[in-house]
């Protein structure tokens, strides 16, 4: 049924002798891709920078007023810890960031569920969140300061608003991205709406939510750093701002290192949760 | 297989479709279709793409929400559907998928039994992504059968499987149906599959039953059997795929 053997024999080209190939031994080809992954390769760049910094400081090439030596910074950090000031500021920062993060996650998730589970909810909720997203969060600060003053409420609100957006966007995306075929399945199985939400919708949106979490954690630190430089009396940002007025570059650098470590640690934590919660996906990647 | 007791046809049917018409816009997909399926009867539905066979199955499954149409569809209370894709929730372990939405303390035990029936005992804790395509489809079968369906609707359930797995799945499905005795409507485009499995084969063409054939070959059915070949030629003819005509 796929060949026509009876007619048009003239269309078949005349038989010729096949070309005689010259054989060669097969050798592995040169790879054009980047090749295999280097273990702990991600540490190399930072280590090179640190080495250059150390050597530069030791050789006296770097002016201590602009960039103090690494050991000076370690010493300053030691002093700050010994006096208890670093812990105090860190605790104060963590409380703000944690509160803002917690509220933002809760609010963002609830809004995403409302908007993801019903068309009416989407109609009401999605617009305002998208508008909020289009306005740079820092541009809202003058208004927030006028409304809420310069105290803790304003600080936590700013962080909450910054966290809410990525949580909402990614969770909502995850919800809408759930394959409609699963809804069809749930209908044929006669699932109740409650069971459908619990067994299909929430687990289906979890990967999106966790991506949102990674952005949210980053946002929390970003907004923390900003709000702490506005009329604070505590916090890592305040400590750095104070150091600026006194020209203490080493304290500023201690603050930067703390921010870096906080960001690194919290992102690692989210990734750990991600790996644990999405075990069903990891099996694909192994 | 157990021959169909003649008495079945007099009993109340498991499926009764009367004058079913479905149209997408201008195009009539099902045209005043009548169909009855007896309890425990295995009916296979053949047809070319667009002949309306999936539309019919979705109408029976209650999945044709926004489709215009008339006619009556009566089905039993417990209907299970097997789709072409296994449609397992990737975030649920195998057993959780089987008992999804089941109530009662014995749900897990029943799920385990169903998995054992499809030859997957011991895989309860596996993720769907760890299973082969055939195994996934067996989990889907277990998920359907654990609900004791009076009607099993299957939409090309083996269409995505390789030929060898498909043969094994045929034997499994036949065995399961002989044991649980649901009425079955199997939509397929594979003529041999229809002949191997069904008590009765319908050929759907442009929304109407173009041919109907009761298959009374004894089990196991062998495609090398000349009577099998005769049935196949008849059905292929009804589908418009006779050797020469196909060349036009």
pLDDT at A12: 63
Tens of pLDDT, residue by residue over B34-68, are 999 999 999 999 988 878 888 899 889 988 877 77
B63, B101, B243 member nearest A195 (Cβ): B101
pLDDT at A282: 63
| CB–CB contact A203 B92 (8 Å) | yes
Q: What percent of chain A has pLDDT over 70?
A: 93
Nearest chain A residue (CA) to B144: A189
Tens of pLDDT, residue by residue over A12-38, are 666 778 888 889 889 888 888 887 888
Mean pLDDT of chain B: 87
Q: Evaluate whether residue A127 is within a structural domain.
A: yes
Look at residue B222 and tell me whether its pLDDT is greater than 90: no
Look at residue A2 and tell me whether its pLDDT is greater than 70: no
What's the average model confidence in pLDDT over A250-274? 93
pLDDT band at A47 (very low <50, low <70, confident <90, very high): very high
Which chain B residues have any C-beta within 8 angstroms of a chain A C-beta? 61-63, 79-81, 83, 85, 87, 89-92, 100-101, 127-130, 143, 147, 241, 243, 246-247
Chain A residues within an 8 Å CB radius of B76: none
Q: Evaluate whether residue A14 is within a structural domain.
A: no
pLDDT at A10: 56
Q: Evaluate whether residue A78 is within a structural domain.
A: no
pLDDT at B2: 42
Tell whether A8 is within 8 A of chain B (Cβ): no
A184, A189, A204 member nearest B100 (Cβ): A189
* Cα-to-chain-centroid distance, residue B209: 17
Look at residue A133 and tell me whether its pLDDT is greater than 70: yes
Say whether A155 sits in a helix, a strand or coil: helix
Distance CA A218, CA B159 (A): 46
Structural tokens at position B17: 């479709």
Say whether B12 sits in a helix, a strand or coil: coil
Chain A residues within an 8 Å CB radius of B129: 280-281, 283-284
- The CATH number of the domain holding residue A122 is 1.10.3720.10
Chain B residues within an 8 Å CB radius of A189: 100-101, 143, 147
What's the average model confidence in pLDDT over B17-45? 89
Do B235 and B198 form a contact (C-beta atoms < 8 A)? no
pLDDT at B6: 42
Distance CA B207, CA B51 (A): 6
Domain extent at residue A112: 103-275
Mean pLDDT of chain A: 89
Most confident by average pLDDT, A52-61, B18-27, B66-75: A52-61
Return the residue in B95, B96, B101, B153 with the most chain A beta carbons within 10 A, the one to mutate for interface testing.
B101
pLDDT at B207: 85
Return the residue in B54, B65, B85, B100 with the most chain A beta carbons within 10 A, the one to mutate for interface testing.
B100
pLDDT band at A9 (very low <50, low <70, confident <90, very high): low
Look at residue B81 and tell me whether its pLDDT is greater than 90: yes
Q: Evaluate whether residue A47 is within a structural domain.
A: no
What's the average model confidence in pLDDT over B220-224? 82
Distance CA B22, CA B29 (A): 6
Distance CA A251, CA A242 (A): 9
Return the residue in A7, A189, A196, A282 with the most chain B beta carbons within 10 A, the one to mutate for interface testing.
A189
Do A89 and A262 form a contact (C-beta atoms < 8 A)? no
Beta pairing class for B183-187 and B151-155: parallel
pLDDT at A280: 84
Look at residue B77 and tell me whether its pLDDT is greater than 50: yes
Nearest CA to B238 out of B48, B31, B44, B27 is that of: B48
Tens of pLDDT, residue by residue over B82-134, are 999 999 999 999 999 999 989 888 999 999 999 999 999 999 999 999 999 99
Nearest chain A residue (CA) to B248: A1
| CB–CB contact B89 A189 (8 Å) | no
pLDDT at A237: 92
Look at residue B30 and tell me whether its pLDDT is greater than 70: yes
Look at residue A217 and tell me whether its pLDDT is greater than 50: yes
Q: Evaluate whether residue A66 is within a structural domain.
A: no
Do B235 and B202 form a contact (C-beta atoms < 8 A)? no
Cβ contacts of residue B149 below 8 Å, gap of 6+?
B76, B78, B79, B80, B180, B182
Look at residue A189 and tell me whether its pLDDT is greater than 80: yes
pLDDT band at B10 (very low <50, low <70, confident <90, very high): low
Q: Evaluate whether residue A40 is within a structural domain.
A: no
Do B200 and B213 form a contact (C-beta atoms < 8 A)? yes
Euclidean distance between the first and the last CA atom of chain B, given in angstroms as a whole number: 40
Handedness of CA B42, B213, B202, B84 (dihedral sign): positive
| CB–CB contact B91 A280 (8 Å) | yes
Q: How far lies A127's CA from each of A122, A213, B54, B105, in Å?
A: 8, 22, 39, 45
Q: Tally C-beta pairs within 8 A across A and B.
A: 59
- ipTM, 2 dp: 0.84
Q: Evaluate whether residue A200 is within a structural domain.
A: yes
B156 Rama class: left (phi>0) / alpha (psi -120 to 50) / beta: left
pLDDT at B246: 46
What's the average model confidence in pLDDT over B130-139? 92
Is the pTM here over 0.90, yes or no?
no
> What is the number of H-type helices and E-type strands within chain A?
12, 0
B62 Rama class: left (phi>0) / alpha (psi -120 to 50) / beta: left
Tens of pLDDT, residue by residue over A71-113, are 999 999 999 999 999 999 999 999 999 999 999 999 999 999 9
pLDDT band at A286 (very low <50, low <70, confident <90, very high): very low
Look at residue A11 and tell me whether its pLDDT is greater than 90: no
| CB–CB contact A203 B91 (8 Å) | yes
Chain A residues within an 8 Å CB radius of B100: 189, 191, 195, 199
What's the average model confidence in pLDDT over A44-69? 91
Look at residue A6 and tell me whether its pLDDT is greater than 60: no
Q: Evaluate whether residue A187 is within a structural domain.
A: yes
Return the residue in B58, B75, B91, B123 with the most chain A beta carbons within 10 A, the one to mutate for interface testing.
B91
Nearest CA to A249 out of A70, A91, A81 is that of: A70
pLDDT band at A232 (very low <50, low <70, confident <90, very high): confident
Tell whether A197 is within 8 A of chain B (Cβ): no
Nearest CA to B40 out of B157, B179, B195 is that of: B179
Say whether B152 sits in a helix, a strand or coil: strand
What's the average model confidence in pLDDT over A155-181? 93
Instruction: Please tell me the total count of domains within chain A.
Output: 1
Taken in order of first residue, the domains within chain B and their CATH numbers are 6-221 (3.40.50.300)
Q: What percent of chain B has pLDDT over 90?
A: 46
| CB–CB contact B129 A283 (8 Å) | yes
| CB–CB contact A189 B90 (8 Å) | no
CB count within 10 Å of CB B244 equals 7
pLDDT at B11: 67
């Amino acid at each position: 049924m796929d060949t026509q053997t009876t007619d048009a024999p003239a269309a078949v080209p005349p038989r010729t002798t096949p070309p005689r190939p010259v054989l060669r031994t097969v050798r592995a080809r040169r790879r054009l891709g980047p090749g295999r992954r280097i273990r702990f390769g991600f540490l190399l760049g930072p280590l090179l920078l640190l080495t250059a910094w150390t050597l530069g400081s030791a050789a006296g090439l770097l002016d201590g007023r602009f960039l103090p030596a690494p050991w000076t910074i370690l010493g300053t950090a030691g002093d700050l810890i010994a006096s208890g000031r670093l812990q105090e500021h860190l605790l104060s920062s963590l409380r703000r960031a944690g509160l803002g993060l917690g509220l933002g996650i809760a609010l963002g998730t609830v809004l995403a569920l409302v908007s993801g589970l019903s068309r009416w909810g989407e109609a009401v909720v999605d617009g305002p969140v998208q508008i909020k997203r289009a306005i740079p969060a820092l541009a809202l600060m003058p208004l927030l300061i006028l409304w809420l003053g310069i105290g803790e409420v304003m600080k936590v609100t700013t962080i909450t608003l910054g966290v809410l957006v990525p949580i909402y966007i990614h969770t909502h995306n995850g919800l809408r991205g759930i394959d409609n075929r699963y809804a069809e399945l749930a209908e044929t199985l006669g699932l109740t709406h409650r069971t459908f939400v619990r067994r299909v919708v929430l687990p289906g949106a979890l990967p999106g939510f966790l991506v949102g979490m990674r952005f949210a954690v980053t946002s929390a630190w970003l907004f923390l750093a900003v709000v702490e430089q506005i009329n604070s009396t505590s916090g890592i940002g305040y400590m750095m701002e104070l150091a600026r007025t006194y020209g203490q570059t080493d304290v500023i650098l201690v603050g930067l290192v703390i921010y870096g470590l906080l960001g690194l640690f919290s992102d690692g934590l989210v990734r750990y949760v991600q790996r644990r919660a999405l075990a069903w996906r990891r099996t694909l990647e192994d | 297989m157990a021959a169909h007791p003649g008495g079945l046809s007099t009993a109340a049917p498991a499926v009764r479709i009367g004058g079913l018409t479905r149209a997408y816009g201008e195009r009539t997909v099902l045209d005043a279709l009548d169909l009855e399926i007896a309890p425990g009867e295995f009916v296979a539905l053949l047809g070319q793409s667009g002949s309306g066979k999936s539309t019919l199955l979705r109408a029976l499954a209650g999945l044709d929400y926004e489709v215009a149409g008339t006619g009556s569809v009566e089905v039993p209370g417990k209907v299970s559907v097997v789709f072409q894709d296994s449609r397992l929730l990737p975030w649920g372990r195998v057993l959780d998928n089987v008992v999804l939405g089941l109530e009662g303390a014995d749900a897990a035990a029943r799920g385990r039994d169903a998995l054992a029936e499809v030859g997957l005992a011991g895989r309860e804790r596996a993720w769907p992504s760890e299973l082969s395509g055939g195994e996934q489809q067996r989990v889907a079968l277990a998920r359907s059968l654990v609900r004791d369906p009076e009607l099993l609707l299957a939409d090309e359930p083996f269409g995505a499987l390789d030929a060898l797995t498909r043969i094994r799945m045929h034997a499994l499905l036949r065995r399961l149906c002989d044991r649980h005795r649901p009425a079955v409507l199997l939509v397929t485009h594979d003529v041999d599959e229809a002949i191997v499995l069904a008590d009765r084969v319908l050929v759907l063409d442009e929304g109407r039953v173009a041919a109907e054939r009761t298959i009374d070959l004894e089990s196991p059915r062998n495609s090398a059997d000349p009577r099998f070949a005769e049935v196949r030629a008849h059905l292929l003819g009804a589908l418009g795929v006779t050797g020469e005509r196909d060349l036009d």
